[in-house]
């Protein structure tokens, strides 16, 4: 079989060169299009369901949120397992699908069941799907480096400016904020004043909710002109909250400030983010979308950060906390180093022992074409270029070199023997 292939190749050099050109073009195309990452993504094919029900203990979360959702997730096709976690104010459900299932098909099926399961949940509770990333989706971490700004100001800057800008980058699934203080309005009610004025606590909560909205009116026509009527009632500051009417006491209006203390305060925190033991920081985590090229996404994020940095307040700069592109570049550098070293060694050995430049070129072409064929197969089978696959190619180069040298030396020896026989005859 091998003899026939070699014979056909010798007598059909034109088609052999056409094949070499096609392999070269396909290989370079595959190199550009193959996703590049540091590590192979071996995480489970899962869809995360996240539900908030703040202020409730884990038992209530388990009974009223987690159990109804898990029960309704049963029966979805191609599910491997369902895991759930209930904690204070939050519920996490992990729906794990089989490995060959398309992630967006899985998210669509889960979303269909969530629409049906919504009626079994408490009023006002809405579950949401997690980002369409994987366990290796955290490709870039950054912090906001500033000395003259408080943690609350930096967190507001991150949540309302930086986060929205970076989420528009192609290939980014989510930008998760961490650290700092989230601002909020805090109403501290005095129970003794509630008893004194005879105001139920539920009336207070309903009054606050009812006074934080706009009310639409009708269309008022006057002199052939129509005027839209609406009641503006959204809260814009502390004074608006303090003046909310709660009820009356002996025909005297009671406001929220009469029974409570209203102030600005940070939201409840369950932990802090510290960098290198130097103090708390505020920043974000860039989560890559499923199936994207990590190296390209990181480059686009860095380019976007340069534009975003121009709009930051004076003294605020980005500081990189984790950048996976460094590990990716190191993995690519390992392959490049192994490739040129093997090519150089083969050239030297073949030329020194055989004194034939053409034989050395044959071995070099075998190495380069084998690497290109490897990238074509990686692209066809959906294997990303990571530290393991690139390392495998680097190790395989040594196996490719040996037969190339042996075959070149054998061909060279056979041709020499034939020439000697012809000279004798």
Q: Catalogue all structural domains in the chain, each as residue range(s) with its CATH number.
A: 2-38+328-424 (1.20.1640.10), 44-133 (3.30.70.1430), 136-182+267-323 (3.30.70.1320), 183-266 (3.30.2090.10)
Give the pLDDT score at 166: 94
Half-sphere exposure of 78 (CA within 13 A, CB side): 15
Length of the chain: 425
Please report the beta strands in 26-132, taking only residues with DSSP state E, as ranges in sequence order.
45-52, 79-87, 90-97, 128-129
Give the pLDDT score at 65: 93
Distance separating alpha carbons of residues 139 and 136, to the nearest angstrom: 7
φ and ψ at residue 332, rounded to 5 degrees = -65, -40
Distance separating alpha carbons of residues 267 and 230, to the nearest angstrom: 32
Orientation of helix 2-11 relative to helix 13-33, angle to 10° = 100
Q: Which residues pair with 361 in a beta bridge?
A: none
Give the pLDDT score at 231: 65
Low pLDDT (below 50) residues in the chain? none
Give the pLDDT score at 216: 67
- Reduced to 3 states (helix: H, G, I; strand: E, B; else coil), residue 2 is helix
Write the pLDDT tens digit of every residue in 116-163: 898 899 888 989 998 888 878 889 999 998 888 888 889 889 988 999
Tokens of 255: 């406001």
Give the pLDDT score at 67: 93
- Reduced to 3 states (helix: H, G, I; strand: E, B; else coil), residue 171 is coil
Distance separating alpha carbons of residues 374 and 365, to the nearest angstrom: 14
What's the Rg (C-alpha) of the chain? 34
Q: What DSSP character marks residue 122?
A: P
Give the pLDDT score at 293: 86
Q: Which residues pair with 87 in a beta bridge?
A: 90
Say if residues 254 and 245 touch (Cβ distance below 8 Å).
yes
Q: What is the pTM of this model?
A: 0.75
Say if residues 378 and 30 touch (Cβ distance below 8 Å).
yes
Give the pLDDT score at 31: 86
**Cα angle 346, 8, 374; round to 5:** 45
């Amino acid at each position: 079989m091998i003899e026939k292939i070699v014979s056909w190749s010798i007598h059909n050099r034109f088609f052999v060169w056409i094949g070499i050109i096609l392999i070269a073009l396909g290989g370079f195309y595959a190199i550009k299009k193959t996703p590049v990452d540091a590590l192979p993504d071996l995480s489970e094919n899962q869809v995360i369901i996240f539900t908030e029900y703040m202020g409730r203990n884990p038992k209530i979360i388990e009974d009223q949120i987690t159990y109804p959702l898990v029960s309704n997730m049963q029966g979805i096709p191609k599910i491997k397992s369902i895991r759930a976690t209930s904690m204070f104010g939050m519920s996490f459900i992990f729906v794990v699908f089989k490995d060959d299932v398309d992630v967006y098909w899985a998210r669509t099926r889960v979303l269909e069941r969530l629409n049906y399961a919504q009626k079994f949940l408490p009023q006002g509770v809405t579950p949401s799907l997690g980002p369409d990333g994987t366990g290796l989706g955290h490709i870039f971490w950054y912090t906001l480096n500033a000395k003259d700004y408080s943690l609350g100001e930096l967190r507001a800057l991150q949540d309302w400016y930086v986060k929205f800008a970076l989420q528009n980058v192609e290939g980014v699934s989510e930008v998760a904020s961490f650290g700092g203080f989230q601002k909020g309005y805090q109403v501290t009610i005095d129970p003794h004043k509630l008893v004194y004025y005879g105001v139920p606590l539920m009336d207070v909560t309903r009054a606050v909710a009812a006074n934080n909205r706009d009310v639409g009116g009708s269309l008022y026509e006057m002199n052939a002109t129509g005027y839209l009527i609406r009641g503006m009632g959204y809260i814009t500051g502390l004074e608006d909250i303090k003046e909310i009417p709660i009820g009356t006491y002996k025909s005297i209006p009671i406001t929220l400030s009469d029974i409570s203390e209203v102030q600005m305060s940070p939201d409840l925190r369950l932990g802090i983010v510290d960098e290198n033991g130097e103090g708390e920081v505020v920043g974000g985590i860039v989560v890559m979308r499923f199936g994207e090229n990590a190296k390209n996404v990181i480059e686009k994020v860095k380019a976007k950060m340069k534009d975003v940095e121009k709009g930051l307040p004076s003294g605020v700069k980005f500081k990189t906390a984790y950048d996976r592109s460094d590990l990716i570049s190191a993995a690519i550098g390992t392959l490049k180093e192994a490739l040129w070293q093997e090519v150089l060694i083969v050239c030297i050995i073949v030329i020194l022992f055989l004194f034939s430049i053409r034989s050395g070129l044959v071995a070099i072409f075998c190495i380069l074409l084998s690497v290109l064929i490897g990238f074509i197969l990686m692209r066809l089978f959906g294997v990303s270029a990571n530290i393991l696959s690139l390392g495998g190619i680097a190790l395989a180069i040594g196996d490719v070199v040996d037969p190339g040298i042996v075959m070149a030396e054998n061909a060279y020896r056979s041709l020499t023997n034939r020439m000697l026989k012809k000279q004798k005859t």
